[in-house]
């Protein structure tokens, strides 16, 4: 599926942010391990989170969806069943990593996924599980999925793991550790990147009754509590700052616009709430009212230096903003963004440069020489690389480019935000400046 995008100004509208993908994944997994029935209210039901839900079912959790809105999970109490076949995690790196820890509690299972997922790194988590007497191997012997895990339980004790590739490895160990035979001490051997995602994990663990000792993100101690484990309950998923960032960016780069986005709590532990501060630093007019963020198009942004060590999912959004900023924008500490659905550092450099700006790609940074508020960027034919965040960010870029932009392969937005284009056309852009098409002749 492709979309045609035209330049637009003066967008006015109010919408509700979709539910958080990160919170939904973790709530599904933890509720599946809890003893008793949990109700997850307002979860994100999308490609990635559905993969997690299917994996939870495969390990014995009972799942019902009420009115396409709430998900009811009858947890296993940590007593899992062995899946009858390989567990397909689809395109979801979060799923395969979180479920690897769960699988360690059970018998032998293979975790796999689509072609993109089978390129994602898993070796640090595989090594960590083996330290806990769980036999785990990469089937291809290259540190990527499929992964075979011969579980039967986690012994407990000390485990060392690096933190500079993916915080999801640590979240996986944290979530499963309450069911270990003894306390688990997780030592992080390199500086932890994407730290807010670990905060989200710890937050949901606490909501379900498990408290972790956190020693400055260098060591975590999880008490073994297999008798009780997680306590079932009701959990409400908050809005997603990552998905909302595209609407904030659209308002910021289109003159005369004003977009209000509800369901974004100011106390959120989501790292991607940093987009609010980034927009302010770039000169955007941003106002926060209770659980609503309001962004107005001020007519110009300034290039700045931005560290995305803890928020790599914001890279495509920030890079799109930089296209029309005055001066250079330097986005640094982003090497770990290369291990997402696409190599996002390279994807951003390749695709956004097609709009006519100069982009310098380095291993851990991008430098974007923006066109400025008085400059011009031109419509282009660009590719999503099968990456949902690239597809949405390229759409943002197309809305400020002269002429027409064609974004190819946008069906991947279903991974995290199935209603993205419908939301744009229904609430913000009713004049069809964005039109979906099934195919087009080059």
Place of tokens 């995602």: 197
Pairing of strands 234-236, 37-41: parallel
CATH top class, domain 21-219: alpha beta
Asked, as a colleague might, if the bond just before 146 is cis with ω within 30 of 0, I would say yes
Residue given tokens 């014995």 in the structure block: 60
Q: Which residues pair with 231 in a beta bridge?
A: 35
Separation CA 223–CA 353 (nearest Å): 50
Residue tagged active-site, from 313, 326, 364, 431: 313
Distance in angstroms (rounded) separating the CA atoms of residues 236 and 54:
20
Per-residue model confidence (pLDDT) at position 442? 30
Residue 110, CA distances (Å) to 55, 99, 289 in order: 11, 11, 47
Element (H, E) at 53: helix 47-58
The 8-class DSSP code of residue 402 comes to B
Q: Which superfamily, per CATH, for 2-18+239-437? A: Enolpyruvate transferase domain (3.65.10.10)
Please, which residues bridge with residue 330 across strands? 305, 367
Sign of CA dihedral 57, 60, 66, 69: negative
Question: For residue 403, how many other CB atoms are within 10 A of its CB?
Answer: 13
Residue 331: count other Cβ atoms within 10 Å of its Cβ.
24
Domain ranges of the chain: 2-18+239-437, 21-219
3-state secondary structure of 351: helix
Model pTM greater than 0.85? yes
Q: In the numeric block, which tokens belong to residue 368?
A: 């974007």
- Report the C-alpha dihedral over residues 198, 76, 90, 109, rounded to 10 degrees: 100
Please tell me the distance from the alpha carbon of residue 340 to that of residue 383, in angstroms, as a whole number. Answer: 16
Other beta carbons within 10 angstroms of residue 191's beta carbon come to: 12
Per-residue pLDDT of the chain (442 residues; tens, 9 = 90+): 999 999 988 888 999 999 999 999 999 999 999 999 999 999 999 999 999 999 999 999 999 998 778 999 999 999 999 998 999 999 999 999 999 999 999 889 999 999 999 999 999 999 999 999 999 999 999 999 999 999 889 999 999 999 999 999 999 999 999 999 999 999 999 999 999 999 999 999 999 999 999 999 999 999 986 557 999 999 999 999 999 999 999 999 988 899 999 999 989 999 999 999 999 999 999 999 889 999 998 768 999 999 999 999 999 999 999 999 999 999 999 999 999 999 999 999 999 999 999 999 999 999 999 998 888 999 999 999 999 999 999 999 999 999 999 999 999 999 999 999 988 887 676 555 555 544 333 3
Has 313 been annotated as catalytic?
A: yes
Residue 440 pLDDT: 38
Any idea which residue has 């959990």 for tokens? 235
pLDDT of amino acid 258 = 93
Tokens of 288: 């926060």
Residue 9 confidence (pLDDT): 84
For residue 372, give the DSSP letter. Answer: -
Give pLDDT, residue 434: 59
pLDDT at 373 (0 to 100): 80
Separation of alpha carbons 435 and 241, rounded Å: 25
**Backbone phi, psi, residue 173, to 5°:** -65, -40
Tokens at 60, concatenated = 């014995």
Phi-psi region of 305 (alpha: psi -120 to 50; beta: other; left: phi over 0): beta
Closest by CA to 116, choosing from 314, 336, 343, 407, is 343
Q: What is the pLDDT of residue 432?
A: 52
d(CA 24, CA 43): 5
């Amino acid at each position: 599926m492709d979309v045609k995008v035209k330049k637009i100004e003066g967008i006015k509208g109010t919408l509700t942010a979709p539910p958080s993908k990160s919170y939904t994944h973790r709530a599904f997994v933890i509720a599946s391990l809890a003893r008793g029935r949990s109700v997850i209210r307002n979860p994100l039901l999308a490609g990635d989170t559905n993969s997690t839900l299917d994996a939870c079912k495969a390990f014995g959790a009972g799942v019902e969806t009420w009115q396409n809105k709430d998900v009811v999970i009858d947890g296993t109490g940590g007593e899992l069943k062995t899946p009858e076949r390989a567990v397909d995690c689809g395109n979801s790196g979060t799923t395969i990593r979180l479920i690897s820890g769960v699988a360690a509690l059970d018998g032998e299972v293979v975790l796999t996924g689509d072609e993109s997922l089978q390129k994602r790194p898993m070796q640090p988590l595989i090594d960590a599980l083996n330290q806990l007497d769980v036999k785990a191997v990469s089937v291809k012997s290259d540190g990527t999925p499929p992964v075979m895990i011969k579980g039967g339980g986690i012994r407990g004790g000390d485990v060392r793991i690096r933190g500079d590739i993916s915080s999801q490895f640590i979240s996986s160990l944290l979530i499963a550790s309450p069911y270990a035979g003894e306390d688990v001490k997780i030592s992080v051997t390199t500086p932890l990147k994407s730290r807010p995602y670990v905060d989200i994990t710890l937050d949901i663990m606490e909501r379900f009754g498990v408290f972790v000792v956190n020693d400055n993100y260098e060591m975590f101690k999880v008490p073994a509590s297999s008798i009780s484990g997680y306590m079932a309950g009701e959990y409400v998923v908050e809005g997603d700052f990552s998905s909302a960032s595209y609407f904030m960016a659209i308002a910021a780069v289109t003159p005369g616009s004003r977009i209000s986005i509800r369901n974004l709590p100011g106390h959120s532990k989501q790292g991607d709430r940093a987009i609010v501060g980034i927009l302010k630093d770039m000169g955007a007019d941003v106002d926060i009212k209770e659980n609503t963020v309001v962004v107005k198009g001020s007519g110009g942004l300034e290039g700045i230096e931005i560290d995305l060590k803890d928020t790599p999912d914001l890279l495509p959004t920030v890079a799109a903003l930089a296209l029309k900023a005055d001066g250079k924008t330097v986005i640094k500490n982003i090497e770990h963004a290369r291990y997402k659905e696409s190599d996002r550092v390279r994807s951003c450099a390749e695709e956004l440069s097609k709009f006519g700006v100069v982009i310098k790609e380095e291993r851990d940074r991008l430098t974007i020489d923006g066109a400025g508020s008085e400059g011009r960027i031109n419509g282009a034919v660009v590719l999503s690389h099968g990456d949902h965040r690239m597809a949405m960010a390229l759409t943002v870029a197309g809305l400020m480019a002269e002429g027409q932009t064609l974004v190819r392969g946008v069906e991947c937005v279903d991974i995290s935000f199935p209603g993205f284009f419908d939301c744009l056309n229904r609430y913000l852009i009713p004049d069809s400046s964005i039109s979906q098409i099934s195919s087009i002749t080059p």
